[in-house]
Structure 1
Amino acid sequence: MFYIGCHLSAAKGFAAMGQEALSIGANVFQFFTRNPRGSKAKAIDPQDAANLRELAQKNQFGPLLAHAPYTLNACSADPKTREFALLTMQDDLARMNDFLPGNLYNFHPGSHVGQGIETGIRQITALLNHILTPHQTTTVLLETMAGKGSEVGSRFEELRQILDGVKCADKMGVCLDTCHVSDAGYDIVNDLDGVLNRFDKIIGLNRLKAIHLNDSLNPLGAHKDRHAKIGQGTLGTEALARVINHPALKHLPFYLETPNDIPGYAAEIALLRGLYQADK
């Protein structure tokens, strides 16, 4: 089955997101756990969450992807900022386990802000070892980053180092962002097989749990992270069609984060469904 969806606003509630996803042809979706630029999370209505779980099961949805807020920095030089990231992620995972068990939670590893990449990796690993538990049902994903500023996670080797240091490694995975990996210098347009072989050798394709499907406004290796609509960037529709149809990827859930409104997402989902080649 082809699992394709987009980022939806959680403001109207869980069940409303599920209905909106169905209305645009999606069978997965991503949402922020709280205001992406803020800290407080809305109280969850247990019945609303139950309604979404029922809708998702009835309509054969793939995994739902909760996204941590952008304000988190697990490897900040400021201990208070690191503590804020820890407490926020701990709360997010508790809420996911209580109300949407068995799904995915994605976060940006963070920026070491001059401390050095090795220090950043140690701090991220320490945070994960503090919040992950053997009994949680949520899989936590490290997102591949573009390498802007002092971001950690633009190189596959950095993600591998984090994963190697996590005690509950079976609760972890990776979300590959097509815009970010291209901006980081991985040529998925001309050498998708080579990039995936490198990912497999360094991290392992078994760790890849989700794809952020985005075009990029920037050339290969720009390290800038500016998403574009499908077919309106430097990656192009043909290259992204190869991504969704690659034998190592096509079973994964794909989440659009393109700069779009709901009608625009509906059009992109329809386009991608038309390009997807189902297994015979």
Structure 2
Amino acid sequence: MGKLRIGCHLSSGKGFLHMGEDAVKIGANTFQFFTRNPRGSKAKAIDEEDIKKYRAYAKKHDIEKILAHAPYTLNPASADEKVRDFAYMTIKDDLMRMEYLPGNCYNFHPGSYTKATKEEGIDKIIRLLNNVLYKELQTTVLLETMSGKGTEIGRTFEELAEIIEGVRLKEHIGVCLDTCHIYDGGYDIKNHLEDVIQEFDNIVGLDKLKAIHLNDSKNPFSSHKDRHEKLGEGSLGIETFRHIINHPKLQGIPCYLETPNELEGYQEEIAKLKGMWYIS
């Protein structure tokens, strides 16, 4: 059934070639990176020479499929027009830059409706996506599952499905499932993984699941918080991740670690996951 596509979040400060080399060094065959400072700022200028070198290196080492992550500060669901405009301009610019690395995915947090209603927030997200997506786009934009803090949108599969339903170019939209977030959000993937996968398929469709964030949780089930823990050291436990990476319906979906680690820690977790993967 192919190979386990596993990586982690890497710093983009030194460019794509450096990230590719770091990925190979720690045993990864994919990686995630921020398109700019995670707290939001102007992105660095495109370094076409670095991208050229990276693409050659990535092809050689089979790390061509990667995941970009938008800044945390984006809130396309906000009632504040200036906040929505910032989200629109950032995502539009990021998608333009992603065209230098065609065929990959771009992940963002759907946002919070704050002073408005949830339905108004969802409508704003849909409008933004319909404004930034275009037919020739070579990037798939992913909605991340959220834990449900405050007025966050994206805690339930129904909310994600409603957004997708409103998007005109559905072939350019997908979902990134975060294990910490959905467990904190009320989906018991520790004890009822099969049921949760079936529910996702019924409501959203597994064809829309394009990436998985593998994170343990510092908090208990349905806590509606968002604090990642190292694999096996949180409330999900290591066996949950063994079941996830070996589930027949999840094969081929790239997985990304966002655990509180440096490169050495990621290397250990990647090796551990490879050791637990028995489907081949």
Structure 1 length normalisation: TM-score? 0.98
Tell me the number of residue pairs that the alignment of Structure 1 and Structure 2 aligns: 278
SS state at 2:113 partner: coil
Counterpart mapping for 1:166-205 below 5 A? 166-205=167-206
Secondary structure of 2:255's counterpart equals strand
1:121 aligns with 2:122: yes
Please tell me whether the aligned partners of residues 20 and 63 of structure 2 are also in contact (alpha carbons under 8 angstroms). no
Question: C-alpha offsets along residues 142-175 of structure 1, whole Å, 9 cap, x if unaligned?
Answer: 0000000100000000000000000110000000
Name the aligned partner's letter for residue 58 of structure 1: K
CA distance in structure 2 between the partners assigned to 1:261 and 1:190 by the alignment = 30
- Name the SS for the 2:248 alignment partner: coil
Give the CA deviation at 1:61: 1.9
Identical counterparts, % of pairs: 58
Is structure 2 residue 68 aligned with structure 1 residue 66? Answer: yes
Show the counterpart of 2:98: 96
Q: Please give the alpha-carbon distance, in whole angstroms, between the structure 2 residues aligned to 1:160 and 1:12.
A: 37
TM-score normalised over the length of structure 2? 0.98
Q: How does 1:240-259 map to 2 (within 5 A)?
A: 240-259=241-260
Q: Which residue of 1 aligns with 2:229?
A: 228
SS in 2 for 1:248: helix
1:40 alignment counterpart? 42
| Equivalent residue, structure 2, for 1:144 | 145
Report matched runs for 1:201-216 at 5 Å. Answer: 201-216=202-217
For 1:264 and 1:62, locate their aligned partners in 2 and report how far apart those are by CA, in whole Å.
Answer: 23
Tell me the residue number matched to 2:17: 15
Structure 1 stretches lacking a partner, 5+ long:
none
C-alpha separation in 2, matches of 1:152 and 1:192:
22
For residue 80 of structure 2, what is the aligned residue in structure 1? Answer: 78
**Aligned letter for 2:107?**
N
- 1:49 corresponds to 2:51: yes
What corresponds to 2:133 in structure 1?
132
Q: Give every structure 1 segment of 4 or more consecutive aligned residues whose post-TM-superposition deviation is greater than 6 Å.
A: none
Tell me how far 1:57 sits from its aligned partner.
Answer: 1.3
Partner of 1:156: 157
Note the alpha carbon deviations across 1:182-208, whole angstroms, 9 max, x for none: 000000000000000000000000000
Paired amino acid for 1:80: K
| CA-CA distance at 1:62 after TM superposition | 5.2
Displacement of 1:51: 1.3
Q: In the aligned structure 2, how far is the partner of 1:100 from the partner of 1:50?
A: 10
- Offset from partner CA, 1:69-108 (integer Å, 9 cap, x none): 01100011110110010000000000001x2111010000
Is this contact kept in 1: 2:214–2:256, CA < 8 A?
yes
Structure 2, unaligned runs of 5 or more: none
Letter of the 1:63 partner, please give it: K
> What secondary structure is seen at the aligned counterpart in 2 of 1:241?
helix
| Deviation of the 1:114 alpha carbon | 2.9
Cα distance in 2, alignment partners of residues 61 and 221 from structure 1: 35
Given residue 61 of structure 2, which amino acid in structure 1 is its aligned partner?
A: N
Q: What is the rounded CA distance, in whole Å, between the counterparts of 1:192 and 1:78 in structure 2? A: 38
